[in-house]
Amino acid sequence: MAGKVFFSVSMSLDGFVAPEPVPVEDELFAPEKQDDPDVQRWMAQWSELQQWLFPLRFMRENLKLGEGGEEGRDNDIARETFERTGASVMGKRMFDLGEPSWPEEAPFHTPVFVVTHTKRDPWERTGGTTFHFVNDGIEAALDQAREAAGDRDVRIAGGGATILEYLNAGLVDEFSIALSPVLLGAGTRLFDGVDASKVALEPVRSEPSPRVTHLTYAVHKR
């Protein structure tokens, strides 16, 4: 039985999943750019948005940061999200930002299908992550991800534009938001451009934690 297609993101209280882009976005993590005030602003806002993840035991394990870390419901949710995922799909923009910054053992540990117009051979990393570059659209990438995932779920990893494209195409079964008590004021809005005439949501679960509120919805055609 095929698994679900889902996405799981952190979102600010005013609806943003990433800070406002900076002029040097393609080289955001380059060492020579770290003193740029725009880059420092972006990194500070992104870190604030994701701050619920950093102390978790699961994150420390997955990123090879050493022993220790917090347990509890936040940690359980992060681990459950990872364990349900049999393959991931992402857009070229997310891949381009991540490629220079992910460690050699990339944190996905599954096949990842990158939606792109760039032709490139698969890029295999240690720890089970192989990036496959799909040149014929979001449905082709999802078909390949479903096959690779087997009976596990496929995660649409991001970024926001790619998530929205899958949502508007009716290809998402479920999503979870970690609603963070942060106001960004500007950036990438998760639902900016959503086709509300086609998307209906059913609340599945709401769980508060000391740092965020976890919201899960099933997606249906309207």
**What is the count of structural domains for the chain?**
1
Mean pLDDT of 114-118: 96
74's tokens: 């936040």
Structural domain for 104, as ranges = 5-221
Lowest-confidence segment of 43-52, 94-103, 164-173, 194-203 by average pLDDT? 94-103
Angle 21-118-136 from CA coordinates, rounded to 5° = 105
State how beta strands 111-115 and 130-134 pair.
parallel
pLDDT confidence tier of residue 36, bands split at 50, 70 and 90? confident
Mean pLDDT of 93-110: 88
Query: Distance between CA atoms of 222 and 220, rounded to whole angstroms?
Result: 6
In degrees and rounded to multiples of 5, residue 54 shows phi and psi of: -60, -35
Q: Is residue 199 exposed (0-12), middle (13-18) or buried (19+ Cβ within 10 Å)?
A: middle
| Cβ density class 150-169: b for 16+ within 10 Å, e for less | eebbbbbbbbbebbbbbbee
Is the model's pLDDT at 187 over the cut of 70?
yes
Greater model confidence, 34 or 98: 98
Cβ–Cβ under 8 Å, residues 90 and 114: yes
Find the CATH number of the domain harbouring 212: 3.40.430.10
* Mean predicted lDDT score pLDDT of the chain: 92
Query: In this predicted model, what pLDDT tens digit does every residue of 139-174 receive, in sequence order?
Result: 999 999 999 999 999 999 999 999 999 999 999 999
Q: Which residues pair with 217 in a beta bridge?
A: 175, 203
CA distances from 90 to 56, 131, 132, 168, 172 (A): 24, 10, 10, 16, 14
pLDDT attached to residue 216: 98
